[in-house]
Amino acid sequence: MRLKMFCLFAACTAVLLAQTPRVAFLEIEIENQVYYWFDVPDATKLAASAGPVANIPIRGFLGFVSIADIVSVNGKPAKGLWENRGERLSPSASPAPTMAAANVTSGNHVYCAADLFTADGTWVGKLTDGGLVGSLGPTHPILGGAGAFLGVVGEHGWVQTITAARNASAAEDPSQRQILGGGRLRIRYYLVPKQWPQVEETADGPSVFHGADWSLVTAVKPARAGEVLVVRAKGLGPTRPDLLPAGFRPFPDNPVEVVNSPVEVNIGGREAEVVNKVGWPGSYDLYRVDFRVPPSVTPGMATLRLTAAWISGPEVKIPVQ
């Protein structure tokens, strides 16, 4: 009886472990961050001064909006806008004057949005999050995502302040922000995507084909350095031009639709040249990715991993000659 219970427990544990979601992260670097404090009672004075304008001393209920430029994601050059807004209350059991009393030490209500683009200016997606910024764990729950991040859950936290953000009055003209300068920071999003970028797997193994004759890459017929391989993939996100969520309709074949997100292929620890990335015609959620095997890949069983919208998927292994 004990043996049966142990086996049942082990089997259940294996299933639970298999169902445990993995967590991806986006480390985003922002620059020229400025907090504009709502300290101007006269609306005609808002954004009226081209020069730097110091804010009044921060006190309870004073609100702000902060703006910054996104310059990289996971070490890759990128563009975009990062914004957050909220108000100062700093709840505490021993509050400072004008701040909020509470039976715990907590943080301010702050809501954030990251609008993410590739370095060439292609829009990839948006993440929004918000709530209390806790003093012991400065994280926010993800409230929603769009584009490549549709359906994600997770949280957002701070990582590193390289240069402190600049505080300014709302009387300062925000069109001068990049000229006047601001802070530089790294922030991180911990994400559990609804769909991960991954190579389709079947009973015959990973769906990786030789581009020349569409035969399956196998131990009998391994990949070769320099050749173009074709991957049948999942979870690569919207396609151009309509940027509709995958699964809304079948991908057309004339013309084929290009995956909007940046897609990377890593094989044997080497980044490969991506030749093609399109929605698989007639499919709702399959994609075709063509890539060239780098000449420097070590022969043997090589790991293959897809990355889309800066999110890396699970590895598969294919033989390389």
- Domains of the chain (ranges; CATH) run 22-192 (2.40.480), 198-320 (2.60.40.10)
Q: 215 with 200: CB under 8 angstroms?
A: no
> What does each C-alpha distance from 43 to 38, 39, 46, 167 come to in angstroms?
10, 10, 5, 19
**Pairing assessment for the beta strands 228-234 and 300-308 based on DSSP bridges:** unpaired
Tens of pLDDT, residue by residue, the chain (321 residues): 554 444 544 444 444 444 445 899 999 999 999 999 999 999 999 999 999 999 999 999 999 999 999 999 999 999 999 999 999 999 999 999 999 999 988 888 889 999 999 999 999 999 999 887 755 455 789 999 999 999 999 998 877 899 999 999 999 999 999 999 999 999 999 999 999 999 999 999 999 999 999 999 999 999 999 999 999 999 999 999 999 998 999 999 999 999 999 999 999 999 999 999 999 999 999 999 999 999 999 999 999 999 999 999 999 999 999
Q: Which residue reads 């505080």 in tokens?
A: 167
CA angle 38, 40, 45 (to 5 degrees): 125
d(CA 103, CA 89): 14
Q: Which two tokens stand for residue 176?
A: 């001068």
* Start-to-end Cα distance in the chain: 51
- Which residues 6+ apart lie within 8 Å of 15 measured at CB? none
pTM here is 0.89
Positions of E strands within 38-105: 63-73, 76-87
Q: Which two tokens stand for residue 213?
A: 């004759």
